[in-house]
Chain A
């Protein structure tokens, strides 16, 4: 009979229909981006996604790809698990970028942190997705096996991306953190995309933005592959 329970009814029964501002205090995994100041809520964090650099596309072909540091210097963090995040504006990485990236991750490890893995944050518009898949396969080969690989994903992957591309990510990335926000706000119709998320067939987390909007669909908790939330911290206005 469960199939006869329409989603709206589930939503009413579970009491989670009302969109509420995202309260970081309800969560335990956070992105800490450059330019965002530390907050008290970090004390309860079990996992930190820490931005450490961006791989910048050159403005013209004569210039090299730049690998620019972002965020805090290497230090011993109190969180039990740390992901090191890199923002990629291009996927054409010279060897030096891989070398420096791995070197930096190892410096974080050597400073006494438990590094869970590396997260790549690439603005992978669906039209670039094929290239991205190939890039990630190669990166997985280059990373030591004890580092996991995470990527951020966009909501519209669930509707616009070719299923073959997404399928190929299985076994390559350990998780996709799907963002429900754009800039500083939740995407107005984020809810429209959510049902398709589970069909990606990949382990996923939901990326929220502090102070943004979130209405948890009732089906989410029981969705295979759902691993929880990551909250993007913002400076108070």
Chain B
């Protein structure tokens, strides 16, 4: 039979449960397509040990190497794809389950409990328990007041031969009442307990229930007295559980007043305040090293160390937890332990962490550009003995220090193994990934490329291959050999990587090629869209008309959203370019896009043509199109766009019409009207192009209201901004 824990006390009791402090309404993540980030970005992690990674990712990578967990990224979801994500970089949420699984009893004891009750002739009125009313991870000592702990009690009561059946029923009924709340007046409990000439054993169980009620109700002194009275009792279960509960009571009593009004731990009261609690916990653990509550007691010892501000001991506790084998009993799951380390240990930035994994994670935090407690070379060297417990780790961190702190790629390369091992665990992969990045930083693009290509067939662990594809793609991009990415033997299959390069960097011939030969319908459609869009908005009207003629029907309905760089919201299909000037909402009629292009092909500054190209942009929401925006230089797609030519903007076009002496009255009035409205109603220009000062806008308004007062737009416009 499984021993159920009476009180698997959560480590969280009364503690802040902190996760990422992210701004309200915006814990959505967006990708940043780069590999060498040196400041924390929990939305953009890479599968090698890096300062920019969330600490929990770095810890996971190291734990994966130790066989304690698997990096098991979830499939890219529709939302993530809409946000622009590909496989790497990845957000924390892709490898970390949202919940804190099995941190508490899972109430698998409910059925057994109900059965025992039934055998006593009792039925439950409600299945709800006080302990289940809490959220995952919420701190309360009452969380242990669950079916599982009631079951342990009930098993003892049912199986104790000294108890009479009426005593069993009374005790069982009392325990079930306790399940319903977290606090009771002493009188309420007294009324429930067996009274009169009870046996000594019944008295002992009743004392236990009274003490438990006192404990949950916060009467720690009474609880202590009650449990102390049972530590020498002959009933073995009562004896053990009381020994454990004495310690728990002491800890709860000691931590009263430890937190300020906002739940933060006050300046530590010092080890002395918790000495009694720790002694009691250690007492239980030495009497019952494999006891039913040993895992819980160890967790509480950790809590004592945290409360008492004993950083070295706390670090040693976590080190011992991480060194334990995969199947070891823990008071919390490994998942929860990772969270706990992140909130309870790492923020103290202790430089003397006794475990190599913890020290490494902490060191990487200290290499972040914006870290307030930057790691020094001396501090790193002083950790040699600890870090060296994991072969290669010390050297890796020295190399990382050279890369991220010293910006000395040559030193990085010296420190890392030049030979690529046949098996790439995450540390070995980190070594090679960093070496590749250092070769790139040093300008040795050829050697870097050779390395990426050498690594690709060796990548076996999750996310490694995808990262290498990104690295190789950026290498080709920076070398001006974009065609290599799209060559038929190219190992770069990642859809998002390819689409970004097509949208941002590809020139017209490559776009034409991929429009025909892309590896998916989406790639073909994206290439064709980018081609037509850039033809049209970079003044290549003749090419636009030629390319339009080649537009295949089959791609017309492929929906393009994130593949054009949009994040949520907008999407287009190739049918955009079939826009026929419909509606004329503002009373300015335009022909089809193709006809407008033909007009502009004949005369690039044709006023009607410019206004109508603007109308196409306006009516289809193309202002601020991502295809026109260049990513940062160190991001994928951040190099000089291959498609040359000045980018069209509505504001520039309207200004050209306004300045054009040949423009018709109608064209000019409409251009003025639209140009004024570029700034409305916010005062910010929404039309792109060069900014115009307010006096100029005022003059436009005046011109529209005087010279063109009789036009429909002169009449309509009431404001300028």
Residues of A within 8 A of B (CB): 3, 6-8, 31-38, 42, 49, 51-54, 56-60, 63-64, 66-78, 85, 87, 89, 99-100, 103-104, 121, 123, 125-127, 152-154, 156, 160, 179, 181-184, 189, 191-195, 207, 209, 232, 234-235, 237
Docked-complex contact A154 and B25, CB < 8 angstroms:
yes
Contacts of B372 in A (CB 8 A): 237
Stretch at the interface among B12-20, B202-210, B269-277, B349-357: B12-20
Min Cβ gap A86→B in Å is 10
Q: Are A75 and B259 in contact (CB under 8 A)?
A: yes
Nearest residue, chain B, Cβ from A53: B135
Interface centre among B15, B260, B263, B686 (most CB of A within 10 A): B263
| Sample (12) of A-B pairs whose CB atoms are under 8 Å apart | A3-B718, A34-B18, A42-B262, A63-B97, A66-B98, A99-B133, A100-B133, A100-B135, A103-B134, A121-B24, A179-B26, A182-B23
Could you tell me the distance in whole angstroms from the C-beta of B105 to the nearest C-beta in chain A?
15
CB distance from A190 to the nearest CB of B (A): 9
Contact B262 A189 (CB under 8 A): no
- Which A residues lie within 8 Å of B259 (CB)? 73, 75
Cβ contact of B25, chosen from A37, A74, A123, cutoff 8 A: A123
Shortest CB-to-CB span from B543 to chain A, Å, is 33
- Alpha-carbon separation in the docked complex, A109 to B382 (Å): 52
- Whole-angstrom distance between the Cβ of B646 and the nearest chain A Cβ: 24
The answer to whether A179 touches B25 (Cβ under 8 A) is yes
- Shortest Cβ gap from B342 to chain A (Å): 10
B578 interfacial by beta-carbon distance below 8 Å: no
Please tell me if the beta carbons of B682 and A189 are within 8 angstroms of each other in the complex. Answer: yes
CB within 8 Å of A: which B495-518 residues: none
Query: In the docked arrangement, what's the CA distance between A153 and B26, Å?
Result: 10
For B137, the chain A residues whose CB sits under 8 A away are: 68-70
Q: Which of A71, A100, A235 contacts B134 (CB 8 A)?
A: A100
User: For chain B, what secondary structure do more than half of its interface residues adopt (helix, strand, loop), or is it mixed?
Assistant: loop
Bound CA–CA A33/B19 (angstroms): 10
Please give, as numbers and ranges, the residues of chain B lying within 8 Å of A195 by CB-CB distance: 681-682
Alpha-carbon distance A60/B97, docked complex (angstroms): 10
Give the contact-size bracket for chain B.
Answer: 35 or more
- Cβ of B264 within 8 Å of any chain A Cβ, yes or no, is yes
User: Of A7, A104, A126, A160, which contacts B683 at CB under 8 A?
Assistant: A7
**In contact, A126 and B140 (Cβ under 8 angstroms):** no
Which of chain B's residues 363-402 have a Cβ closer than 8 Å to chain A?
370, 372
Tell yes or no: B100 within 8 A of A by CB.
yes
List the A residue with the shortest CB-CB distance to B93: A59
Q: A128 CA to B684 CA in the complex, in Å?
A: 28
Are B138's CB and A33's CB within 8 A?
no
Of all chain A residues, which has the CB nearest B370?
A: A237
- Docked-complex contact A33 and B25, CB < 8 angstroms: no
Chain B's nearest CB lies how many Å from the CB of A112?
12
**Known contacts A31-B24, A184-B23; is A68 also within 8 Å of B99 by CB?**
yes
CA distance A34 to B718 in the complex (A): 48
Q: Which residues of B contact A52 (CB under 8 A)?
A: 135
Asked if B139 is at the interface of the complex by the 8 Å CB criterion, the answer is yes
Q: Give the complex CA separation of A37 and B266 in angstroms.
A: 12
Is B27's CB under 8 angstroms from A87's CB?
A: yes
Indicate if the CB atoms of B98 and A57 lie closer than 8 Å: yes
| Cβ contacts under 8 Å, B99 to chain A | 56, 58, 63-64, 66, 68
**Chain B residue with the shortest CB-CB distance to A181:** B23
User: Cβ of B549 < 8 Å from any Cβ of A?
Assistant: no
**Chain A residue at minimal CB-CB distance from B74:** A59
Q: Smallest distance from the beta carbon of A13 to chain B beta carbons, Å?
A: 15
Is B2 at the interface (CB under 8 A from chain A)?
no
Q: Contact between A192 and B138 (Cβ–Cβ < 8 Å)? A: no
- Taking a contact as CB atoms under 8 Å apart, the answer to whether B718 and A68 are in contact is no
User: Among the listed A6, A8, A70, A184, which residue makes an inter-chain contact with B17, where contact means beta carbons less than 8 Å apart?
Assistant: A70
CB nearest to B43 among chain A residues: A183
Contact residues of B between 416 and 472, Cβ < 8 Å to A: none
Residue pair A189, B24 in contact (C-beta under 8 Å): no
- Roughly how many angstroms separate A61 CA and B134 CA in the complex, as a whole number? 23
Contacts of A232 in B (CB 8 A): 23-24
Interface string of B706-721 (1 = CB under 8 A from A): 0000000000001111
A72/B28 in contact, CB under 8 A? no
Given contacts A68-B98, A73-B16, 5 further A-B contacts (CB under 8 A): A35-B19, A42-B262, A71-B16, A100-B133, A104-B138
When distances are taken between beta carbons in the complex, the residues of chain B under 8 Å from A89 are 98
CB distance from B487 to the nearest CB of A (A): 36
Q: Counting CB contacts under 8 A, is B22 at the interface?
A: yes
Report how far A108 CA is from B226 CA in the complex, Å.
30
With beta carbons under 8 angstroms apart, the residue of A53, A59, A73, A104 that contacts B15 is A73
Beta-carbon nearest neighbor of A77 in chain B: B261
- B569 at interface, CB cutoff 8 A: yes
Which B569-589 residues sit within 8 Å CB-CB of chain A? 569
Q: Is B136 an interface residue (CB 8 A)?
A: yes
From 114 to 162 in chain B, residues with beta carbon under 8 angstroms from any chain A beta carbon are 133-140
Chain A residues with CB below 8 A from B720, complex form: 6
Chain A to chain B: the 10 pairs with minimum beta-carbon distance, closest first: A72-B263, A66-B99, A35-B21, A56-B98, A69-B138, A38-B262, A192-B682, A69-B135, A35-B18, A69-B137
Among B25, B97, B100, B261, the residue within 8 A (CB) of A76 is: B261
B17, B21, B568, B683: the one contacting A36 at CB < 8 Å is: B21
* B23 with A191: CB separation less than 8 A: no
Whether A207 touches B25, Cβ cut-off 8 Å, given contacts A71-B263, A125-B568, is yes
